[in-house]
Amino acid sequence: MERRLLLVFALTFLVILAFQPLLKKYFPQSQAPAPQTQAQPQPQPQPAAQNPPASAAQTLSTNASKQATAEAETVIENDLYRITFTNRGGQVKSWILKKYDDDQGKPLELVNRAASDRYGYPLSLWTWDEAQRNKLNSALYVASGSGTLTAPAEITFEYADPDMDVRKTFRFDHTYVVRVETSIIVKGAYIAALPMWPAGFGDETSAASYAAATVTYQANSDVERLSTKKVSSGNTIKGPLNWGGLTDQYFAAVFLPDDAQNAVMVALHNAIDIPKDLQKPNPQDTLKVDVLGAAMGNLKGPSVGRLFVGPKVLSVLESVPVTGMGANVDADLRQLVDFGWLGVISRPLFIWLRWTYQTMVHNWGWAIAIQTLIINLALLPLRISQMKSALKMQKVAPQIKSIQEKYKKYSMRDPRKQEMNQEVAALYKQEGVNPVGGCLPLIIQMPFLFAYYRMLGVAIDLRHAPWLWIRDLSSPDPWHLLPIGIIITMFLTQRMTPQAGMDPSQQKMMNFMMPVMLGVISWNLAAGLCLYWSEGNLIAMAQQTVMNRTALGREMRELMEKRARKKDK
């Protein structure tokens, strides 16, 4: 990546040198600071303006004054959203997603009102000059439409005074994507002013939901996810950028510039105080949380592109095309769903779960139940292999102990300790014992559990999805019945499973401590994950009951009972 950046810098420098005479002759420019990729502790100076083309100068004349006399609102609506614009700043006051509810069952408001009142509303404009930025976002624009407009629709906001001419155009269709065009001319020259989503989302109501927010962008084939700890307000990231913006656990506001090469993004990081108890808010009992935002556009003139604002539903993201791509870049926004380092497992698991929901049962809870059953049946051969390995370990346990007694007088640093390891290895080989054979099934099962945890954490499809007494499979079980079920089923499974080579007193402690520990871990996990976990334990109990009745299971039981009788004597 560093080599590519150096190559881009070198080529850019050569092109600038080669075309300098032509630029000076036909397009005189003032000095412009280049955006930096590192955090800027001080406000950056406004990038210098460029003389606009003749056609743009005719369209955006700075001689006439244009501003509204009063504040007014315009509503844009389709089947997916209801957006309320105000002509004060030509920005969005409300962005409601019709197909999603908040925690109170009302249509979800994506605008974070508390944060936006302090740090700006969606589709306001960012400039590096704070005074100019405040003026742009507080002026009364002239709107091309009023009342309620039904998509497909277009609305334009214009403002002009003797020094400044601003134009903002938004086009809407039947999708979550909005066409955005902004341009500003100050004293006859373009300046860079970036449309932004400055202050989080309306579904962020707790410290955990604020912490889940990231500034995410894709530069060629690399996707970067910047958490709150990695974002400094005003941090400027230069192109080429295929897309970039703000995301949280379930929703995203992402800009897709037409000119990826000249795109620039500014990451925003602020803070607000929220009530610790949302049910009983107390102004004296608050918690400070970080609020992220992002602005993105063209550094060299008008900013033209698209803006996706909506849910991180995989099928929806895959329908949004990405332009200006490099090699090995996805052709859509699917990377907004972060399946984590186990994405190779969690993504197929989710696709399979979605197929089960769509084709077999129209309930996400029962879809998880069916998938859990199939996964555990597929892992049954591993469980049988684990029992066989445990039986062999039981058989050689006395010989292993005899070898250990033989060498216990030597310290760990004594070279003769290596002879003990060699004797143990030879015994394993002679008896056909694989010492890690009993661990292999657990090693294989654990990635599925972790992948399920990650999948349920990012799958918006399970948000507010009900199952029996559970209202939301992505939230903890309100009655904690599933975590209690995990404790009970784990305890019974431990009691039923022969454990090779373990001292009976240690075995009793493990049989008690392990279920309690896992129950504590699962207490506040997503109900969907607890459903997967507890059902898996029930299936394991049933499988173990059957196995204990086989010749293999009876032989293991006899060996354990025989060993216990010898210890009691």
3-state SS string for 246-259: EECCCEEEEEEECC
Per-residue pLDDT at 72:
94
DSSP string, 441-491: HHHHHHHHHHHHHHHHHH-GGGTT--BTTBS-TTS--TT-HHHHHHHHHHH
**H/E run at residue 168:** strand 164-172
Domain boundary among 338, 364, 381: 338
d(CA 174, CA 153): 10
Tell me whether strands 73-77 and 147-150 are parallel, antiparallel or unpaired. Answer: parallel
Distance of CA 367 to CAs 83, 247, 424, 433, 531, Å? Answer: 34, 27, 47, 39, 11
102 neighbors 194 (Cβ within 8 angstroms): no
Beta pairing partners, 186:
164, 189
d(CA 73, CA 5): 45
Residues 279 and 363 occupy one common structural domain? no
**Cis peptide before 504, with omega less than 30 degrees from 0?**
no
Domain boundary among 306, 338, 370: 338
Assign 3-class secondary structure to 354-418. HHHHHHCCCCHHHHHHHHHHHHHHHCHHHHHHHHHHHHHHHHHHHHHHHHHHHHCCCCCCCCCHH
Residue 107's CB: how many other CB atoms inside 10 A? 13
- Quickly state the pLDDT bin for 117 (edges 50, 70, 90): very high
Residues 324 and 364 occupy one common structural domain? no
In a domain? residue 96: yes
What is the rounded average pLDDT for all residues in the chain?
81
Distance of CA 424 to CAs 364, 392, 421, 437, Å? Answer: 50, 14, 5, 16
Domains in the chain: how many in total? Answer: 2
- Quickly state the pLDDT bin for 103 (edges 50, 70, 90): confident
Does the structure show a pLDDT above 70 at 39? no
Residues 332 and 479 occupy one common structural domain? no
Does the structure show a pLDDT above 90 at 307? yes
Residue 132's CB: how many other CB atoms inside 10 A? 18
Residues 508 and 419 occupy one common structural domain? yes
- Quickly state the pLDDT bin for 32 (edges 50, 70, 90): very low
Range of the domain at 207: 43-338
What confidence tens digit (pLDDT) does each residue in 446-467 have? Answer: 787 788 888 888 889 888 899 9
- Angle, nearest 10°, between helix axes 504-522 and 527-548? 150
Counts of helices then strands in the chain (DSSP H, E): 15, 20
Residues 285 and 369 occupy one common structural domain? no
Q: Worst-scoring range by mean pLDDT, 93-107, 139-153, 359-373, 499-513?
A: 499-513
Q: Worst-scoring range by mean pLDDT, 15-29, 71-85, 143-157, 379-393?
A: 15-29
Residues 412 and 513 occupy one common structural domain? yes
Q: Which residue has the tokens 């449309």?
A: 195
In a domain? residue 32: no
Rounded to the nearest 5°, which phi and psi values hold at 415? -60, -25
* More reliable by pLDDT, 1 or 426: 426
* More reliable by pLDDT, 204 or 413: 204
Structure tokens at 342: 């186990």
Query: Mean of the pLDDT values across residues 326-342?
Result: 81
Per-residue pLDDT at 506:
63
- Quickly state the pLDDT bin for 503 (edges 50, 70, 90): low
In a domain? residue 560: yes
Residue 113 CB contacts under 8 Å (≥ 6 apart), including other chains: 202
Percent of the chain with pLDDT over 90: 40
Per-residue pLDDT at 432:
75
Residues 332 and 419 occupy one common structural domain? no
Residues 539 and 433 occupy one common structural domain? yes
> Within its chain, how far is the Cα of 477 from the centroid?
22
Per-residue pLDDT at 389:
75
Per-residue pLDDT at 439:
66
**H/E run at residue 500:** none
In a domain? residue 11: no
First CA to last CA distance, the chain: 69
Residue 448 CB contacts under 8 Å (≥ 6 apart), including other chains: 345, 349, 375
- Quickly state the pLDDT bin for 10 (edges 50, 70, 90): very low
Burial 282-314 (b: 16+ CB within 10 A, else e): eeeeeeebbbbbbbbbbbbbbbbbbbbbbbbbb
- Angle, nearest 10°, between helix axes 440-458 and 527-548? 160
* More reliable by pLDDT, 35 or 267: 267
Does the structure show a pLDDT above 90 at 296? yes
What confidence tens digit (pLDDT) does each residue in 425-444 have? Answer: 888 887 777 776 666 666 77
In a domain? residue 17: no
Residues 200 and 272 occupy one common structural domain? yes
User: Can you list the positions of beta strands (E) in 26-110?
Assistant: 73-77, 81-86, 91-101, 107-109
Residues 334 and 412 occupy one common structural domain? no
In a domain? residue 366: yes
* More reliable by pLDDT, 461 or 383: 461
Residues 304 and 369 occupy one common structural domain? no
Per-residue pLDDT at 31:
36
Distance of CA 252 to CAs 170, 374, 430, Å? Answer: 18, 33, 60
Per-residue pLDDT at 519:
80
In a domain? residue 344: no
d(CA 219, CA 213): 19
Residues 509 and 360 occupy one common structural domain? yes
DSSP reduced 3-state for 132: helix
Torsion of CA 506, 510, 513, 515, to 10 degrees: -170
In a domain? residue 34: no
- Quickly state the pLDDT bin for 501 (edges 50, 70, 90): low
Q: Residue 59 sits in a domain of what CATH number?
A: 2.70.98.90
210 neighbors 269 (Cβ within 8 angstroms): no
